Amino acid sequence: MKTTQKTASDIPMAGKRSVMSSAIAAAAGLTDTPFEPPVMGEAAIEVNGLNLWYGDHHALKDVSVNLPKNQITALIGPSGCGKSTFLKTLNRMNDLVPDVKITGSVRFDGMDIYDPSVDVTDLRKRIGMVFQKANPFPMSIYDNIAYGPRIHGIRNKAKLDEIVERSLRGAAIWDEVKDRLKTSALGMSGGQQQRLCIARALAVEPDIILMDESTSALDPISTGKIEELCLELKKNYTVIMVTHNMQQAVRISDWCAFFLLGELVEFGTSEQIFSMPKDKRTEDYVTGRFG
């Protein structure tokens, strides 16, 4: 966990002038301190030559990238560019879609997750997902969290109590719900429901949390809480999030991947992507010229 949180004002954000001036200054050798990206460290997931087709539609084109462990990576790009498709390939959620063909490899913890020997239920326990719209089960707050651990064989009440409390605390919602654990999760606010869904993902002790526009339906205060939570979560988890919110990517992501028409155009630190993109298409996108 880093001690200083980035704010939009720390990074020259998506302004044509700042992008151009830093790029031009660097190209002209005018900066005293050349831009040096931080070292990546260990990869949580290694993607190599990944292609995906929905029928005849080639939705991911030869994507290769290492996603860093215990960091937040943001996936950005215009609608339909393949962000959700890519995210879902990381825990085989696309297996559920008919007529999908996937080639290439996705390596996690020493295995290719597409190897026929992989237990997909176990994989999704270790690589959890939180969706755009909160989807609590129609049951109590307690049972929502205990659901996954019960499926994985935990029956002991004291153990389940402990998991429920730890998960709700981990998702920064314990104090708000501790006195109504037996009431329906459907009575919570949208922001609370989304944190409940994060707690539900945490309950099965994943290594990686995938988030697909998980704050896009929330008000700024709830969004802020989830952003703070993500910064806290990366002490123990790897977070990979799709976002359409460039400010959010700047605020909380360490790394950023820009997709266009199924291609991973550029991957780098968020500082680099937003202040000195290497590819013209990335620059056009982050400066708001299209998308």
On whether the CB atoms of residues 111 and 165 are closer than 8 A, the answer is no
We find the least distance from the C-beta atom of residue 36 to Mg ion, in angstroms, to be 33
Chain position carrying tokens 């931080």 = 38
Given ligand ATP, Mg ion, none, residue 57, with its beta carbon under 5 to 8 Å by kind, binds: ligand ATP
We find the least distance from the C-beta atom of residue 132 to Mg ion, in angstroms, to be 8
Residue with Cβ nearer ligand ATP (12 or 104): 104
Residue with Cβ nearer ligand ATP (47 or 171): 47
We find the least distance from the C-beta atom of residue 84 to Mg ion, in angstroms, to be 3
Q: Is 84 in the site for Mg ion (CB under 5 A)?
A: yes
For the chain, list the strands marked E by DSSP: 43-54, 57-68, 72-76, 100-108, 111-112, 127-130, 208-212, 238-242, 255-260, 263-269
Residue with Cβ nearer ligand ATP (125 or 281): 281
Given ligand ATP, Mg ion, none, residue 59, with its beta carbon under 5 to 8 Å by kind, binds: ligand ATP
We find the least distance from the C-beta atom of residue 109 to ligand ATP, in angstroms, to be 25
Chain position carrying tokens 């919110």 = 245
Q: Is 215 in the site for Mg ion (CB under 5 A)?
A: no
Q: How far apart are CA 215 and CA 132, in angstroms?
A: 7
Residue with Cβ nearer Mg ion (84 or 282): 84
Q: How far apart are CA 145 and CA 201, in angstroms?
A: 8
Q: What angle do CA 172, 177, 183 make, to 5 degrees?
A: 140
The residues of the shown chain that bind Mg ion, judged by CB under 5 A, are 84
